[in-house]
């Protein structure tokens, strides 16, 4: 665990994804932000008890968005703790099994895009515990010192959290605090402000606008969905540079036309672009199988002679 700022603790799950424990202002009261991968509930419960004492229970679980690495343990924790799961209304169709997110795009390139071909698409069904985050203002339930910001582009209802008093930012997957396109950097936790979630970004202009919105906050302490906590002027300056020079991939399904979503889910998808890797992998596998078969035949003939 790492302290991001006063009353904000980051827990890294399997060296890959972060969850956050945020004090609510009253001793013993707190909110869990995101829930990591499926099966993370034991680690999260243990961390909560180290922070808040035996039997610690949050007032609520708040999801920055509903992708599997953030919602994975939400159902197990919410039902065990008997607390609600709060999400932006635009995330409700996805976390309640009424809609699927825009399809991932492995053709944007990079290590994460390659690995995304093998990620499961099924999400936990939170319909019995999920509640819509109030949108009348930007107040965060149970956290009076915080406000939320809608930062789409990676997920339709993705939110970031900001505490103006000390300029603490929880940036979700609007960006990352590690080089998210490098598997080694993610696993080693090397600090670096970078774009996040390239194969899952369905609207690149919106993703860039979201980063610009967060950079304008000039955060003093930053925690994101992926990567270590970062603090100080250098981190804020790096975020401004990312916003000013946001790297859009040269290729991919959503580069020239974004997916469009509404309150019910996906309203329009651009056509997929050719994904040559599976065909190349199949050709390589066929060539390897042929070589092995020829070798085995030669070995048998030598044995028979």
Q: What is the pLDDT of residues 235-271, one digit of tens each?
A: 999 999 999 999 999 999 999 999 999 999 999 999 9
**Residue 92 dihedral angles phi and psi, to the nearest 5°:** -55, -40
Q: What is the pLDDT of residues 189-221, one digit of tens each?
A: 789 999 998 999 999 999 999 999 999 999 999
Q: Which residue has the tokens 């997929």?
A: 272
Confidence of residue 110 (pLDDT cuts 50, 70, 90): confident
> Residue range 120-133: average pLDDT?
92
Number of H helices, E strands in the chain: 9, 15
pTM recorded for the entire structure:
0.88
Q: Which residue has the tokens 């993705």?
A: 158
Residue 128 token pair: 């019995």
For the chain, give the number of residues: 305
Q: What share of the chain in percent tops pLDDT 70?
A: 90
Structural element, H or E, at residue 148? strand 143-150
Q: What is the pLDDT of residues 150-173, one digit of tens each?
A: 999 999 999 999 999 999 999 999
pLDDT at 180: 80
Confidence of residue 300 (pLDDT cuts 50, 70, 90): low
pLDDT at 119: 86
Cα distance from N-terminal residue to C-terminal residue, the chain? 66
Of 101, 36, 24, 34, nearest to 63 by C-alpha is 34
Residue 298 token pair: 């030669």
> Residue range 270-284: average pLDDT?
66
Distance CA 112, CA 235 (A): 23
Assess contact for 227 and 191: CB atoms under 8 A.
yes
Structural element, H or E, at residue 259? none
């Amino acid at each position: 665990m790492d302290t991001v700022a006063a009353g904000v603790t980051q827990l890294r799950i399997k060296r890959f994804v972060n969850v956050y424990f945020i004090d609510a202002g009253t001793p013993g009261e707190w909110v869990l932000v995101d829930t990591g991968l499926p099966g993370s509930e034991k680690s999260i419960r243990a961390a909560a008890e180290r922070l808040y004492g035996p039997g610690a229970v949050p007032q609520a679980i708040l999801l920055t968005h509903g992708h599997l690495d953030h919602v994975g343990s939400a159902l197990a924790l919410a039902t065990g703790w008997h607390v609600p799961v709060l999400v932006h209304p635009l995330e409700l169709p996805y976390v309640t099994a009424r809609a699927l997110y825009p399809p991932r795009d492995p053709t944007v390139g990079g290590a994460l895009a390659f690995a995304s071909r093998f990620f499961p698409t099924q999400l936990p069904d939170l319909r019995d515990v999920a509640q819509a985050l109030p949108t009348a203002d930007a107040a965060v339930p149970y956290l009076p010192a915080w406000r939320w910001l809608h930062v789409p582009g990676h997920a339709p209802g993705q939110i970031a959290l900001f505490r103006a008093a000390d300029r603490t930012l929880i940036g979700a997957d609007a960006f990352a605090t590690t080089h998210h396109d490098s598997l080694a950097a993610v696993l080693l936790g090397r600090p670096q402000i970078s774009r996040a979630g390239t194969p899952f970004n369905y609207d690149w202009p919106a993703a860039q606008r979201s980063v610009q919105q967060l950079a304008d906050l000039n955060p003093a302490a930053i925690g994101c969905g992926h990567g270590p906590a970062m603090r100080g002027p250098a981190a804020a300056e790096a975020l401004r540079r990312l916003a000013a020079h946001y790297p859009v991939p040269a290729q991919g399904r959503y580069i020239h036309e974004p997916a469009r979503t509404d309150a019910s889910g996906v309203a329009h998808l651009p056509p997929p672009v050719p994904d040559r890797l599976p065909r190349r992998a199949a050709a390589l596998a066929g060539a390897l199988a042929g070589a092995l078969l020829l070798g085995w035949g030669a070995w048998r003939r030598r044995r028979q002679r």
